[in-house]
């Protein structure tokens, strides 16, 4: 029994909880359980599911294409998370330091986040399209031959850049709030002591912002694995030659292009496990290094 009586009765508490509980159950827990179950079946479009035990997992273990997809996803996530955090942190610092027009800088940094992912992907496509892109000319003027429709590594970089660009706004919103919470006196002490600007960012602001930064690392990791589907789908469709075939896109194609629901479900369970393990590691690190105020 609860020691605090907040609600008049259990009925009231249950009613208030119901919408969230129902939505979570119908759209989250039930599909999760179903995916887990389906991963043990050979299941296709218009065919009766047939129980195959662990066969789907075993075949994934022996599939080199899938291995490379896992590797690509992890590398992609690492690049996106590090890139988003680093770029957002620096942009936040610049906005924090500037005296005039802070609001305008903030808006211009945040707006890509306000776009739906698909629109963001299309905007980015028109910016760096190999022949039509607005930025293609200037980039090629630097001596880089832009050919990411055919060049795998270039396509990987383009998708990663698009994913970073889209997520910066979200990070900046949290980071600017955290940075503004650093007491002014610390900034002033650092200024009087002659501590350089970057040193101040890295040695004073970042340690104090760690709770926010760890939260963002978690959110950005989830984003990198799950939220970047639209960029892969609209920019490269996983190509060229599977160079951008990240897990989330790979399992989508498995399910809805090849209609191998069993294999796709097994892939989604593996993706879930990969992310879960990474989360566990991150939470452990958070406990160890995060600074939670005096």
Partner 1 sequence: MTTITLETLSKEFDDVVAVNGIDLTVRDGEFLVVVGPSGCGKSTTLRLLAGLETPTDGEIRMDSRDVTGAEPKDRNVAMVFQNYALYPHMTGRRNITFGMNAAGSFTDEEIDRRVAKAAETLDIADLLDRKPQAMSGGERQRVALGRAIVRDPDAFLMDEPLSNLDAKLRIQMRAELTRLHAELGTTTVYVTHDQTEAMTLGERVVVMDDGRIQQVDPPQALYDFPTNRFVAEFIGDPAMNMIDVELEGGAAVHDAFRIPLPAGSAEGETGAGTEPLADPDAGGRRHAVLGIRPEDLHLARERPDLGETTFDATVEVTEPLGDSLLVHCSIGNETVKMGAEPRSSLEPGGAVSVGYDPERLHLFDPETGEAFYHSATATAPADRAEPVVTD
Q: How distant is the alpha carbon of residue 246 from its chain centre? A: 12
Q: Interface with partner 1 by CB under 8 A: which range of 151-159, 188-196, 229-237, 272-280? A: 188-196
Q: Is residue 97 at the binding interface for partner 1, with CB under 8 A as the rule?
A: no
Cβ contacts of 233 within 8 Å, gap of 6 or more: 121, 249, 252
**Binding flag, residue 137, partner 1 (CB under 8 A):** no
**In the complex, least distance from residue 187 CB atom to partner 1, rounded to whole angstroms:** 9
Instruction: Name the residue with tokens 């273990």.
Output: 61
Looking at beta carbons only, is 214 or 226 nearer to partner 1?
Answer: 214
Contact between 101 and partner 1 by CB under 8 A: the answer reads no
Least distance from C-beta 92 to partner 1, angstroms?
19
Regarding 194 and contact with partner 1 (CB under 8 A), the answer is yes
Q: What is the 3-class SS of 209-267, one letter each residue?
A: HHHHHHHHHHHHHHHHHHHCHHHHHHHHCCCCCCCCCCHHHHHHHHHHCCCEHHHHHHH
Among 94, 199, 258, 284, indicate the residue that binds partner 1 (CB under 8 A): 199
* Omega cis (within 30) before 240: yes
To partner 1, the closest distance from the beta carbon of 97 in angstroms equals 14
* 152, containing H or E segment: helix 152-180
In the list 99, 145, 193, 288, the residue contacting partner 1 (rule: CB under 8 A) is 193
Q: Is residue 186 close enough to count as binding partner 1 by CB under 8 A?
A: yes
Q: From start to end of the chain, where are the E strands? A: 41-42, 50-51
Q: Which stretch binds partner 1 (CB under 8 A): 36-44, 82-90, 191-199, 267-275?
A: 191-199
Regarding 203 and contact with partner 1 (CB under 8 A), the answer is yes
From 236, 240, 242, select the one nearest 72 (Cα to Cα): 242
Give the footprint of partner 1 on this chain (CB under 8 A): 183, 185-186, 188-196, 199, 203-204, 207-208, 291, 293-294
């Amino acid at each position: 029994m609860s020691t605090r009586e907040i609600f008049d009765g259990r009925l009231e508490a249950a009613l208030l909880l119901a919408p969230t509980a129902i939505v979570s159950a119908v759209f989250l827990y039930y599909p999760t359980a179903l995916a887990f179950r389906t991963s043990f079946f050979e299941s296709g479009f218009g065919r009766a599911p047939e129980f195959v035990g662990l066969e789907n997992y075993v075949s994934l273990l022996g599939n080199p294409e899938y291995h490379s997809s896992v590797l690509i996803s992890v590398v992609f996530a690492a690049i996106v998370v590090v890139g988003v955090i680093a770029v957002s942190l620096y942009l936040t610092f610049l906005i924090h330091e500037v005296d005039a027009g802070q609001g305008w800088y903030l808006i211009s940094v945040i707006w890509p986040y306000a776009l739906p992912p698909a629109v963001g992907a299309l905007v980015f496509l028109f910016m760096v399209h190999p022949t039509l892109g607005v930025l293609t000319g200037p980039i090629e003027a630097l001596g880089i031959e832009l050919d990411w429709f055919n060049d795998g590594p270039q396509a990987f970089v383009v998708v990663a850049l698009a994913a970073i660009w889209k997520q910066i706004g979200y990070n900046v919103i949290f980071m600017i709030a955290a940075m503004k919470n650093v007491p002014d006196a610390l900034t002033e002490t650092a200024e009087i002591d002659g501590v350089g600007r970057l040193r101040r960012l890295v040695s004073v602001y970042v340690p104090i912002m760690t709770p926010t930064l760890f939260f963002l690392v978690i959110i950005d990791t989830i984003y990198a694995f799950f939220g970047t589907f639209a960029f892969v789908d609209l920019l490269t469709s996983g190509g060229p030659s599977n160079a951008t075939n990240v897990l989330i896109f790979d399992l989508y194609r498995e399910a809805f292009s090849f209609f191998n629901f069993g294999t796709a479900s097994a892939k989604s369970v593996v993706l879930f496990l990969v992310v879960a393990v990474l989360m566990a590691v991150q939470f452990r690190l958070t406990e160890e290094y995060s600074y939670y105020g005096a």
